Amino acid sequence: MPAATAANPPSSILVYVGLDLMGDALMKMPFVRALRETYPRARITWLAGKGKTVFGGSLAPFVEGLIDEVIEDAGIGSRWTELLRRPLAGRHFDLVIDTQRRVPTTLILRRLRCDVFVSGAANFAFSSVRPPPGYKKPTTMIRQILDLIEVASGARVEERIAPLYAREPYVQAVALLPDGAVYVGLVPGAGGRHKCWPRERFVEIGKRQVQAGRVPVVILGPDEEAWYEELRAALPEARFPLQEESARGAGPSLTVALGARMAAAVSNDSGGGHLMAAGGVPLVSLWGPTVMEKAPPQTQKLITVLARDFGSTAMEAIPVDAVHAAVEALLKKA
């Protein structure tokens, strides 16, 4: 149907996700921006059917004006019995975009009242509109969901990366990292310790920054608090902004803003790294057992250092000199 075309754009759009953890949401930001740019006058509803979305919480300041309504914990998309009723009490949308690919969930969402339904599940088998013949699913998650906008609109959608900005956390970040120094971030944590480069190597990178007249900034999340004393003793010249009293209780938006204050940073494959990248920092991203190609950090200047290039998938395979060289390369481009 023609409801989502440029000649007859939708006035109401629903985007379905299962849930959005921090990393998920940050990787979807180019999709959120592209959807708003494609449909500037539409009312956009973001539906998290199986849990929470940080767009309704800690990242809400960054999607103001981009998403009009957030629905969380909707209980939609899990049980076959949902096929017996219409989700959201029969609300109607001009366009529904299903970002997931699980067929039972897609069948449930197909019960929504809508003019156009777009889903990549089962190679677009349940979609009202489809990509042209010969379409191949892209490797990266963000390109896959951007293609859903293309299918809906019939227009090319480019992947554009732009730093996130919110005034209040940025003002706080300036107070923590004031002008007058060149800051280089170090993000030694990760959700799984198997994804962590050895801490002593982060310390070595920090010491080399001190020797070059720069200030290392160590970003420690709640799960890395126990490392503070060890790293403070090993790298006394470093700043630890999230451990400052003024930053206690600050949400992820402050980490995003701190990234905007740095000339470069080094991070494991981690939520902290994605937060820093969202602030626009030029990033050296370290990867071992996980697959970089599926979900690289969203920043315009990115160098990935892969353990597999050094003969292993273990993080310990990545040498300090390779990371140091990558940092220097980013700083030269600044």
118 and 189 assigned to the same domain: no
Contact partners, residue 230, CB within 8 Å, separation at least 6: 199
Chosen domain end from 89, 118, 153: 153
200 and 325 assigned to the same domain: yes
The model's pLDDT over 75-126, given as tens digits with 9 standing for 90+, comes to: 999 999 999 999 998 899 999 999 999 999 999 999 999 999 999 999 999 9
At residue 6, the pLDDT reads 53
68 and 125 assigned to the same domain: yes
The CATH code of the domain that includes 29 is 3.40.50.2000
The answer to whether residue 22 scores a pLDDT higher than 90 is no
The structure tokens listed for 159 are 């992947």
Chosen domain end from 127, 153, 179: 153
At residue 134, the pLDDT reads 94
pLDDT band with cut points at 50, 70 and 90 for residue 31: very high
**What is the chain's mean pLDDT, rounded?**
94
The answer to whether residue 20 scores a pLDDT higher than 50 is yes
Q: To which residue do tokens 């293609």 refer?
A: 147
Instruction: Tell me what the mean pLDDT of segment 202-211 comes to.
Output: 98
The answer to whether residue 327 scores a pLDDT higher than 70 is yes
148 and 213 assigned to the same domain: no
Is 6 a domain residue? no
180 and 251 assigned to the same domain: yes
Give the predicted TM-score (pTM) of the model.
Answer: 0.81
How many angstroms separate the CA atoms of 135 and 143, rounded? 13
How many angstroms separate the CA atoms of 239 and 25, rounded? 28
Is 158 a domain residue? no
Distances (CA, A) of 292 to 13, 122, 168: 31, 25, 32
235 and 287 assigned to the same domain: yes
29 and 56 assigned to the same domain: yes
Q: What is the span of the domain harbouring residue 76?
A: 12-153
Q: What is the DSSP string of 123-137?
A: TTTT-SS-PPTT---
Contact partners, residue 117, CB within 8 Å, separation at least 6: 95, 96, 98, 109, 110, 126, 127, 128
Q: To which residue do tokens 């979305």 refer?
A: 53
Chosen domain end from 120, 153, 186: 153
Helix (H) or strand (E) segment spanning residue 113: strand 113-119
Closest CA to 25 of 48, 54, 46: 54
Helices marked H in 110-221 — which ranges?
A: 141-153, 167-176, 199-211
175 and 135 assigned to the same domain: no
User: Is the distance from CB of 22 to CB of 274 less than 8 angstroms?
Assistant: yes
178 and 143 assigned to the same domain: no
User: Is the distance from CB of 189 to CB of 265 less than 8 angstroms?
Assistant: no
Is 177 a domain residue? yes
Closest CA to 240 of 203, 186, 179: 186
At residue 58, the pLDDT reads 87
The model's pLDDT over 3-17, given as tens digits with 9 standing for 90+, comes to: 445 568 999 999 999
Is 72 a domain residue? yes
Q: What is the DSSP string of 304-332?
A: EEEGGGGT-SSGGGS-HHHHHHHHHHHHH
Angle (CA) 240-244-247 rounded to 5° is 110
Q: What are phi and psi of 119, to 5 degrees?
A: -150, 135
Q: To which residue do tokens 């500037």 refer?
A: 40
User: Is the distance from CB of 97 to CB of 28 less than 8 angstroms?
Assistant: no
How many angstroms separate the CA atoms of 186 and 327, rounded? 11
The model's pLDDT over 34-61, given as tens digits with 9 standing for 90+, comes to: 999 999 999 999 999 999 999 999 899 8
